[in-house]
Amino acid sequence: MARLILYYHSRAPWDVPTDTVVYLDRHFLTEQDGAEDLSISRRPNAPCLLHRHDDWWLDNHATAHNAHVAVHTPGGHGRLVVPKRCSFQLGDGTTEVWAWDSRYRLRLVVSGSTYRPPATSQDGLRTQVGEPGADERVTELFRAAPIHRAVLAAHYRSYLIPGLEQPEPQGRAQTLRCMGHKTATQLDRALRETMHAIWREQGHGSELPVYLISQQLLTAVDLDLVPHVDCAHPRPHRGR
CA 212 → CA 22, 47, 111, 229, 231, distances in Å?
33, 29, 25, 24, 24
Provide the percentage of residues in the chain whose pLDDT is more than 70. Answer: 87
Give the per-residue pLDDT at 203.
86
Q: Beta-carbon neighbour count of residue 131 at 10 Å?
A: 13
| Residue closest to 96 by CA, chosen among 70, 57, 62 | 70
Q: pLDDT confidence of 190, banded at 50, 70, 90? A: very high
Give the per-residue pLDDT at 121.
47
Lowest mean pLDDT among 10-19, 30-39, 72-81, 189-198: 72-81
The upper half-sphere exposure of residue 210, i.e. CA atoms within 13 Å in the direction of its Cβ, equals 23
pLDDT at residue 217 is higher than 70: yes
Whole-structure pTM over 0.85, yes or no? no
Provide the percentage of residues in the chain whose pLDDT is more than 90. Answer: 45
pLDDT at residue 100 is higher than 60: yes
Q: What CA–CA distance (Å, rounded) separates 182 from 172?
A: 11
Q: Average per-residue pLDDT in the chain?
A: 85
Q: Tell me if 79 sits within 8 A of 72, measured CB to CB.
A: yes
Q: What is the mean pLDDT of residues 9-13?
A: 84
Lowest mean pLDDT among 4-13, 62-71, 105-114, 150-159: 62-71
Q: pLDDT confidence of 114, banded at 50, 70, 90? A: confident
Q: pLDDT confidence of 159, banded at 50, 70, 90? A: confident
